Amino acid sequence: MFPGETFPRKTGEVKASFFQMASARSNPIDADVIPLGSYPTPVRKVELPEPLEGELWLKDDGHSAQLYGGNKVRKLERLLALAQRQGARRLLTIGAAGSHHVLATCVFGARLGLPTRAVLTPQPWTEHAEDTLRAALHAGLAAVPATSGLAALRLLRRERQPGDFVIGPGGWGVAGTWAYRLAVDELQEQLRRAGIERLEGIVVAAGSGSTAAGLLAGVLETGIARRVIAVQVAANPLLRAIITGQALNALWRQGRPLHAARALARLEIESSFVGAGYGHASERAITATGLARSFGLALEPTYTAKAFAAAIERTHAPAGGGAGSKLRLRQRHAYLYWHTLSSVPLTALLTGAPEALPNELAHLLRKPPLRDGRDVP
């Protein structure tokens, strides 16, 4: 569904084009870019409680745009340029009910006069997820509820109309991946100025995997980190293949040498923070959220809380002492957490929005069962 091809389909006597992400053989990745963000996004060192065996740095893409930030801005700069070049009349995408990708697509698509229609799948209720959906609806989203991921894919095919530009979940695909390949060049210059030659790892949340794939492609070409640590937000046994495949595909599109073995070696899948699944908070993620709040970084339970918790764990020294512990403290590896959540409060996007969701969408945000008359936290 998301191979990045433009293809014809006959509807009666009219031959209509369905626009998707650019064909791997017909369009260069950087043919057009619509400037939506402000770069470079900030990098700073995070002061964590002791004991530590490493440093933690923060690359904050939450500040990528004043209107609405996060990691979707870099991707949409290229995706929306492709949509314009192909003469699209509408954006069609897919995501969970509280998807930041869907909201960002609505916000920035509207600036170009492109309405957004999205097929939405269920996820656990949180206040943040509900506010995100309300903001997307207020920004003009036409939402189509689906009962599951598989049902959503069927609905997406059914909803497609002539002139649609289809964007995969999370900005999945070559254009979004390449946006984060180039972001690594930005980071490399910032690290050089900070006196850091090489990171032990770049920690990032991984859902659709295109952000992690772009970072992996950048690490392969620049060597600024020993590995990319992709933190799973939901159980997905194919995530390693998905991330590696997107990274190698993006490099192939640019005519770069491909080294599959190196790509696999430079990618680590961190699966111990999934917890109860997509959208569910975990104890370690809740603790990480409180710590991040203490220095002004806002997290949400689906993606960033899990990734930041993983980053913290990498830098904390293990319990106990001994010679091995002292050696690790002398080495003090540097890790970087790549923050992907918009730092722009949703308040402005919610001004004038209805307080309640429509009934047909409210059921997509599934609240936990009641226990003794109260919601289970």
- Read out DSSP for 154-173? HHHHHH--TTEEEE-GGG-S
Distance CA 133, CA 120 (A): 10
Write the pLDDT tens digit of every residue in 262-319: 999 999 999 999 998 998 888 999 999 999 999 999 999 999 999 999 999 999 856 4
For residue 290 the two structure tokens come to: 């409180």
Same domain for 226 and 167: no
Same domain for 168 and 247: no
Same domain for 313 and 250: yes
Backbone angles phi, psi at 268, to 5 degrees: -115, 130
What confidence category does residue 373 fall into, taking pLDDT thresholds of 50, 70 and 90?
very low
- Per-residue pLDDT at 367: 81
Residue 80 lies inside a defined structural domain of this protein: yes
Residue 373 lies inside a defined structural domain of this protein: no
Residue 107 lies inside a defined structural domain of this protein: yes
- Per-residue pLDDT at 13: 35
Residue 315 lies inside a defined structural domain of this protein: yes
Residue 375 lies inside a defined structural domain of this protein: no
- Per-residue pLDDT at 85: 94
Same domain for 105 and 16: yes
- Cis bond before residue 51 (omega within 30° of 0): yes
- Structural domain count of the chain: 2
By mean pLDDT, which of 112-121, 187-196, 330-339, 350-359 is the weakest?
330-339
Q: How far is CA 57 from the centre of its chain?
A: 19
For residue 54 the two structure tokens come to: 């490493």
Distance CA 376, CA 316 (A): 31
Query: At residue 5, does pLDDT exceed 80?
Result: no
Query: At residue 327, does pLDDT exceed 60?
Result: no
Tell me the percentage of the chain whose pLDDT exceeds 70: 85
CATH number of residue 116's parent domain: 3.40.50.1100
- Per-residue pLDDT at 281: 84
Asked which of 142, 172, 202 is the last residue of a domain, the reply is 172
- Per-residue pLDDT at 206: 97
Same domain for 197 and 79: no
- Per-residue pLDDT at 282: 85
Same domain for 221 and 133: no
Asked which of 124, 146, 172 is the last residue of a domain, the reply is 172
Q: How far is CA 349 from the centre of its chain?
A: 20
Burial 305-342 (b: 16+ CB within 10 A, else e): bbbbbbbbbbbbeeeeeeeeeeebeeeeebbbbbbbbb
Query: At residue 188, does pLDDT exceed 80?
Result: yes
For residue 147 the two structure tokens come to: 């009962």
Query: At residue 236, does pLDDT exceed 70?
Result: yes
What confidence category does residue 14 fall into, taking pLDDT thresholds of 50, 70 and 90?
very low
- Per-residue pLDDT at 376: 45
Residue 276 lies inside a defined structural domain of this protein: yes
- Per-residue pLDDT at 4: 40
- Per-residue pLDDT at 63: 97
Write the pLDDT tens digit of every residue in 146-174: 999 999 999 999 999 999 999 999 999 89
Closest CA to 243 of 217, 220, 218: 217
- Per-residue pLDDT at 328: 43
Same domain for 160 and 22: yes
- Per-residue pLDDT at 50: 72
Identify whether the C-beta of residue 234 lies closer than 8 Å to the C-beta of residue 246. no
Is pLDDT larger for residue 50 or for residue 58?
58
- Per-residue pLDDT at 28: 55
- Per-residue pLDDT at 48: 86
Identify whether the C-beta of residue 98 lies closer than 8 Å to the C-beta of residue 172. no
- Per-residue pLDDT at 332: 65
Range of the domain at 133: 7-32+72-172
Residue 295 lies inside a defined structural domain of this protein: yes
What confidence category does residue 331 fall into, taking pLDDT thresholds of 50, 70 and 90?
low
pLDDT mean across residues, the chain = 88
